[in-house]
Amino acid sequence: MATTNVLPGRVRTSGALLPAAAAMLLLGACGGPSPGKASAERPGAGGRPGAEADTGRKGPAATTFATLRGVPKDAAPRSGTNGLVVHPTGPRAVLDRPGGRTIATLPTEQLGGPTWVPVVETSGGWRRVLLPSRPNQASGWISAAGLRTARTSYTVKVDLSRRELTLVRSSRRVGRWPVAVGAPATPTPSGRTFVMATLAPAKKTPSPLVLPLGTHSATLDTFGGGPGTVALHGWPDTSVFGKAVTHGCVRVPADALRKLSRVPLGTLVLIG
């Protein structure tokens, strides 16, 4: 299992273009300054049809649209990693423990780009990875055999109390910016997650670039028809920065968005 060094922009979707409506669907937790109405449906029901359907012995697909059952919770949600990220070259069984029960399948793609997830623990020939599905802080074990591996030197840190985002590369600060975070009724979820995709909407939206994360709103099952996926994205009204006004997403200044666009997929995002 060879490891490849990750250069800025190497491990990311390649200019993934989505219709504006699709991009906004994925910004379901990031609407205007007031909280949206939570759906009575369970997470995923407002997203892609069949997202929670069982795929047989392989288990449901671990995507942002799915709700997984029986998954182990991240054991160290405030810890960093060594930057190791992995990509399954084929659908990969996700187990509840090394050699244990299959609880899901990690697909090769997420939102039109390659699936890259961070490794948070290693046990022999097994890797514990963070998953992009509900519940938040979901994790699982996958076999190391046949995985494509890489390392990212970046870490994204979001300080909810200070309402600041800090981008770190190789233990050095690239930049720090005031950001808008979730309002009290729709807070940005804390814990460690990761950059799941890089989306460039094909039509005009509030942000030229959207970076969905592997976490969801804790208070909104769905908003605007989407699964409540939390994302990093820009915002045209700069007066929101430094305030708690979103539905859970983190709105960032233009300069921060430009630098975040270089962050590889699977990069760890620490929120707290």
Catalytic residue numbers?
233, 249
Q: Specify the DSSP class assigned to residue 25.
A: H
Decide: 116 and 266 in contact? Cβ < 8 Å. yes
CA dihedral sign, ordered 161, 167, 171, 173: negative
As a whole number of angstroms, the distance between CA 240 and CA 252 comes to 9
As a whole number of angstroms, the distance between CA 50 and CA 140 comes to 21
Q: Specify the DSSP class assigned to residue 223.
A: B
Strand order in the sheet with 199-201: 16-18, 199-201, 210-216, 229-234, 250-252
Sequence length of the chain is 272
Written as six digits, the tokens of 194 are 């990761």
Nearest of 41, 95, 82 to residue 222 by alpha carbon: 41
Q: Quick check: bond before 135 cis, omega within 30?
A: yes
As a whole number of angstroms, the distance between CA 225 and CA 24 comes to 9
Q: Specify the DSSP class assigned to residue 73.
A: B
